Structure 1
């Protein structure tokens, strides 16, 4: 249609003389009903009514009178479904043409026309719904004297399957707006049709406005007084497993007369944070019973495991309302529970990764914790820092910690030092309480493993909770089990926090180390097994004496630092080779297993090749990694941002980078998808493998993010970043795949050793003479050579894979179970040292092997 045609399309429509177009929001007085009919329209046909099927006309019955037919005909003349290069808004066009004296009845007829045209018309042009919907919206804004029959007609017109190619606009704007203005009793008449429309939308694939669906569900829920489960289902929806659980297990409580108004309020939690008015309304509706219900429902969230969808928006919104309401509840369970909710929602699918299950819910919990303030929020926030990798959430955690720290006059790190919970454990790491004639004992053993044991009346331990304890002291038993779970969660978080302090070269005063890292029953499990160093002075392992803590070096010399002496964790990068060797020997002599590699820590110095490349390192470039495994390990060690996958038909998101920030510096490690990976990876899913690229560094205090020469990077920063990269490659390389092949597989499995493999070799040098198989093993440059009775084997110190002499045939052995036959001075990421040792013990006695999958390879 041309522009000229558009200008002439209203030629046959006559406005009233002297009229001026009213504003769309103008209200028409219902007392003006009825008004004279509009000027006669062309009678060439019934227009919209001609498009309705006999069945549709039959449903409408006698509701289409001559007045409405006249209005319909006039609107049909104005309605042009085809799109032009310029289109005047339809509602505006109608008002400008028909004039200001449109009566109440005619406005209502216009609304009925819009509803029929939206829901029943067979016009199939893609944009055909926009005009009638815009008119329906204009009518919905007016205060009109709708009759019950007219409202029923609007709902009758809505009981029609929505065609697939229709615009997902808002076909229920008008009937919803009109029905909401009715009294509760008047609304009941329309419930049967409203339920039919609800069922239609439930079956639909989404070609409707989600807000329309929610508004309709709310209307129906408010009439489900006798069916609280239905009321709950209407408000939380059926979009995920948690919503189904809420309806089935808590529907009676949530939909009860007491709680339903609060549930109705929770679904309005659609903003980023609650307003004062929102909280005031929640406080007016809150009761002790609903507070207990909030605790019970939110407590289910940490254990909830997602399927395809974690939380649908219809579920997440009332849950956010529950979280906001916790701000009004002064109970000891609030802070730890919100910490658990933030952890569950803030971590990625499966509990790891740089994404989050529900950032909205995590931020809501953090917002309430921030308002709560005080030192009690620090422990859950510290756990979030070690587990969550989503940068935006981590930034919010840091903000809350900084705010609490500022209130206490401390830095964030100092605050974390001071707020690790003891869980009631004494300085010896033990908590005991009597339960009748029995004793419940929670203790940390010498390796830091928390154990819950039970002592009988004779003081002897028993394996499980005695019947008398279960029946008469169930509350105490439950409390101890919760404490056991909390200690288990805290220990790994503290290990990571202390290792991060080592990598960042933190300083303390000696009295702070004694209080927060040696005497503390939980953190002390790790701190007492580490080497501490006086700044630019001697270092040693802590030993408790009658006069306090002293540091003992490998030669047995002791020193007791003064309270204000600056102290740090010892790092081998600043020590001479002989000192490192002596400290490693000392650990083996005293049988001390460190919580992470310290004495046996790898050191990565700048290489000549890196000096030549200048601003990037290719030391760990070109490795083919299992993407999910590499991403998980890097995320655990503080790297963020890596997201590779096939998100579009061209195999997009094929390049990315993992990023880690340390004080003053930022490391960026390039990653990319292998060429052709889209042929075997699922479209829209994360990648299965990736190829590592160069590593670059820039300063965090400079906005440009320009890579700096590696010679300017502090040696400790460089070494720790390279160590992370080595660990990721060592754990996730496809070279570890027993079915691998090709040059990369051969090079990785049996090639030169990395720094981590060299440290492994150094540990074996010290361990082998102590073994009962010492006469059957020897170290070569890259292999541990094991002499069995059937053959001689070579175990590669990097990959742990095996070659058999004399022809270097590959031997596949899949490690099973934990190896505990020999003391190991550390347990590294991936456990490769334990894998090599277990294989050595197995092959040294190869005649005792009974597994046919192994014996067949050896004897072939």
Structure 2
């Protein structure tokens, strides 16, 4: 195979000929390669694009390569995504926005062909595509829709192996829970259950989401015990700086990065389907811990996303749980100073009181 990278490589020579006015030299070189060679060339060209080198020559070649079946592996797909987002990104956020249409399609093609990929980063790219639609709605909408299809895929299940995007390593919480509860996390049905929980990126769960959650929880080996342990883990986790894939994500210490925050939100709602005495106190403990200010005081809480979700879960309690949920909601004012969390707690208390006739 012709050399791809390094000084004097065939790729370097083809690019030099193009720069010298020999139109089509790069295309001829790529056409001379086998599939593995074209995949290697795509990786090299993508890196050049990240570094804003030979952009006018590289962008068309990347676009053509992104439409080919090149047999990408999951590691290669992840390598492309890591270049774009996170601590080891090779482009700044504003550079990614400017070169989004040149850099992202190849990464999506690799993710599509590999079957498994870094879902946390694809979710961030999806959000960016949505915000960039104002510039070219047709193209960015197509990319957004393409990412929706990827993210809606069922997670490949390998017995005994938790997928990378569940309890990922963007924060301290994910690795800690993996290390502490490895045996439970390898249980039958656990991946399917946690994958569903990880989809919840808002404070309230729909009835359809909750029905699916209940079914998957029932099918998960030791599912209720796992929910308890994972929620206890977040309720005891000190705030810390996270390595979020989102370039515009939290800069202050928090409890977990975006993917694990969504997972905790799902676990909170799933806990309502567990018949155990710990459900309400644990939801209350998460609301109190996440809602308290960073460092133990102030209006910028440890995790507003988790706190508002825990408050909503307490507000959804019924029957014998309602009175206990009211007591926990009543403990929030004082330690919690975030207005959004407190407003949600007041609304939850009013709803509980109305349903109980109080």
Q: Confirm or deny a common fold (TM above 0.5).
A: yes
- Name the counterpart of 1:451: none
Q: Select the residue among 176, 180, 184 that pairs with 2:112.
A: 180
1:77-116 maps to which residues of 2 (within 5 A)?
none
Is structure 2 residue 141 aligned with structure 1 residue 211? no
Superposed CA RMSD = 4.7
1:444-463 maps to which residues of 2 (within 5 A)?
none
- Name the counterpart of 1:381: 329
Superimposed CA distance per residue, residues 148-184 of structure 1 (whole angstroms, 9 cap, x where no aligned partner): x4546x94994997645682356454344454367xx
Is structure 2 residue 182 aligned with structure 1 residue 251? yes
Paired with 2:178 and 2:306, the residues of 1 have a C-alpha distance of 20
Paired with 2:307 and 2:51, the residues of 1 have a C-alpha distance of 46
The alpha-carbon distance between structure 1 residues 173 and 263, as it changes in their structure 2 partners (threshold 3 A), is farther
Paired with 1:272 and 1:354, the residues of 2 have a C-alpha distance of 19
Task: Name the SS of the counterpart of 2:204 in structure 1.
Answer: coil
8 Å contact 2:292–2:335 — kept in the other structure?
yes
Instruction: Give TM-score, length-normalised by structure 1.
Output: 0.28
- How many residue pairs get matched? 282
- Name the counterpart of 1:353: 298
Task: Name the SS of the counterpart of 2:332 in structure 1.
Answer: helix
- Name the counterpart of 1:296: 229
Paired with 1:401 and 1:71, the residues of 2 have a C-alpha distance of 70
8 Å contact 2:213–2:270 — kept in the other structure?
yes
What is the Cα deviation at residue 210 of structure 1? 6.7
- Name the counterpart of 1:406: 354
What is the Cα deviation at residue 280 of structure 1? 2.5
The alpha-carbon distance between structure 1 residues 70 and 226, as it changes in their structure 2 partners (threshold 3 A), is farther
The alpha-carbon distance between structure 1 residues 159 and 401, as it changes in their structure 2 partners (threshold 3 A), is closer
8 Å contact 1:347–1:357 — kept in the other structure?
yes
Q: State which structure, 1 or 2, has the greater radius of gyration over its C-alpha atoms.
A: 1
Q: Relative CO higher for 1 or 2, CA cutoff 8 Å, sep ≥ 6?
A: 2
Q: Select the residue among 52, 61, 76 that pairs with 1:124.
A: 52
Task: Name the SS of the counterpart of 1:236 in structure 2.
Answer: coil
Higher strand share: 1
8 Å contact 2:299–2:338 — kept in the other structure?
yes
Paired with 1:233 and 1:50, the residues of 2 have a C-alpha distance of 30
8 Å contact 1:120–1:160 — kept in the other structure?
no
Instruction: Give TM-score, length-normalised by structure 2.
Output: 0.62
Paired with 1:211 and 1:313, the residues of 2 have a C-alpha distance of 9
- Name the counterpart of 1:264: 195
8 Å contact 2:214–2:273 — kept in the other structure?
yes
8 Å contact 1:52–1:122 — kept in the other structure?
no
What is the Cα deviation at residue 242 of structure 1? 1.9
What is the Cα deviation at residue 222 of structure 1? 5.5
Superimposed CA distance per residue, residues 89-137 of structure 1 (whole angstroms, 9 cap, x where no aligned partner): xxxxxxxxxxxxxxxxxxxxx99998764333486379x59x949x85x
8 Å contact 2:304–2:341 — kept in the other structure?
yes
Paired with 2:331 and 2:275, the residues of 1 have a C-alpha distance of 22
1:519-534 maps to which residues of 2 (within 5 A)?
none
8 Å contact 2:11–2:26 — kept in the other structure?
no
8 Å contact 1:345–1:362 — kept in the other structure?
yes
- Name the counterpart of 1:496: none
8 Å contact 1:345–1:357 — kept in the other structure?
yes
Task: Name the SS of the counterpart of 1:291 in structure 2.
Answer: helix
What is the Cα deviation at residue 52 of structure 1? 7.7
8 Å contact 1:262–1:286 — kept in the other structure?
yes
8 Å contact 1:326–1:334 — kept in the other structure?
yes
Paired with 2:51 and 2:300, the residues of 1 have a C-alpha distance of 44
Paired with 1:354 and 1:160, the residues of 2 have a C-alpha distance of 33
The alpha-carbon distance between structure 1 residues 226 and 283, as it changes in their structure 2 partners (threshold 3 A), is closer
Gaps of 5+ in 1: 1-48, 59-68, 75-109, 199-207, 411-860
The alpha-carbon distance between structure 1 residues 365 and 163, as it changes in their structure 2 partners (threshold 3 A), is closer
Superimposed CA distance per residue, residues 761-785 of structure 1 (whole angstroms, 9 cap, x where no aligned partner): xxxxxxxxxxxxxxxxxxxxxxxxx
- Name the counterpart of 2:283: 338
